[in-house]
Structure 1
Amino acid sequence: MTEAPIRTHEKSIMVDTTAPALYDLVSDVTRTGEWSPVCTACWWDDVSRAGQVGAWFTGRNQLPERTWETRSQVVVADRAREFAWLVGSGFVRWGFTFEPDGGTTRVTESWHFLPAGIAMFHERYGDTAEIEIDERIRLAHDGIPRTLEAIKRIAETS
């Protein structure tokens, strides 16, 4: 029997700026296209609720073979500590946490492929679900360090 793949991933990077400045940057989802290798644009579904717990936003994602949109809901909005959201009906949880260290901050990006997402992939893709799930895992492992490097570059040159 083979072991199930790890369906969660996180990575950290030190950034030469404050936790509030980093939080303000990444919680502005309209800027996501500046650092994400897959999500090219995001917009708040209701601008009056932007950045608040319960607020919904839409993201446009693009890979060479396809483009698609997802809706996400903010589940944590704790300035300078954590910003997180759920994709769809609880399919995936993405988030950032911030740990101040003097004048620098450790920012950690995390990704969790949740049971509802796994079930949805099995329903949608049937016999090829595990191949599709493996691809999402690969994209998270590839994308998170690239995202963090881009956020660091943007934050340290602003």
Structure 2
Amino acid sequence: MAETTTSEPAALFQVGAETMVRATPAEVYTLISDLPRSGEWSPECQGGSWVAGRPATVGAVFRGENVRDADVIAWAPVVRGRWTTHAEVVAAEPGRTFRWAMRDSSGRRQESVWGFDIAPTPEGSRLVHHFRMGRPTEGIREITAEMDDRTRQRFFTEWSDKLRHDLQNTLQRIKAVIEQH
């Protein structure tokens, strides 16, 4: 049997979570594409503002205000406290998908993409939240620069676990925001 190949390189991180929401795909999309409201559901992003382009459209840039507790993978040199990020919308299909790629300090898009996919169900919508990082970002390179292979693998494992937990937590908070109306 022939082996199937793909042109997409292996991901450094690739995680996802899903939940069912009692709302239409259009209602879900309206909320999840309103990134300034992300402080209502994100464990780290406290909200922010659109700084370029028409909000929530491909090419628009969002400046996120973030905060991370000191105990998150406490042994690793990750950013703690408050910091800002810039992200560029890379997919915006109302009622279907919304994705954004993190930018580096020079404003270039990185292979660090967060997103939501929505599908209709008889009860409302299936909402999938996912994250994929191909090549290491500027931040990951800085975090792991002084790590040996074993420590780097430990970090990647623990960070993947953190991401999975954050995605699921985000979905539960989005579900609560949508279903309380």
Change in CA separation of 1:14 and 1:124 when aligned onto 2, cut-off 3 Å: closer
Asked if structure 2 preserves the Cα contact closer than 8 Å seen for 1:57 and 1:73, the reply is: yes
CA RMSD of aligned residues (A): 2.2
In the aligned structure 2, how far is the partner of 1:56 from the partner of 1:108?
A: 22
Paired residue for 1:78, among 84, 93, 105?
93
Equivalent pairs, count? 153
In our comparison, the structure showing a higher alpha carbon Rg is 2
In the aligned structure 1, how far is the partner of 2:166 from the partner of 2:143?
A: 24
Change in CA separation of 1:135 and 1:70 when aligned onto 2, cut-off 3 Å: farther
Corresponding residue of 1:148 = 171
Deviations 1:104-151 (A, max 9, x none): 10000000122142x752355412382554453232111011100000
Gaps of 5+ in 2: 1-9, 71-79, 104-108
**Higher relative helix content:** 1
Alignment of 1:1-158 (within 5 A): 7-46=13-52, 49-65=54-70, 66=80, 67-88=82-103, 89-117=109-137, 121-123=140-142, 125-128=144-147, 130=152, 133-158=156-181
In the aligned structure 2, how far is the partner of 1:120 from the partner of 1:157?
A: 37
Gaps of 5+ in 1: none
The two structures have a TM-score, normalised by structure 2, of 0.76
- Percent identity for Structure 1 against Structure 2: 29
Deviations 1:55-88 (A, max 9, x none): 0001111112322111000000000000000011
Specify the code of the residue in structure 1 equivalent to 2:99.
A
Deviations 1:21-77 (A, max 9, x none): 00000000010000001111221013x510110000011111123221110000000
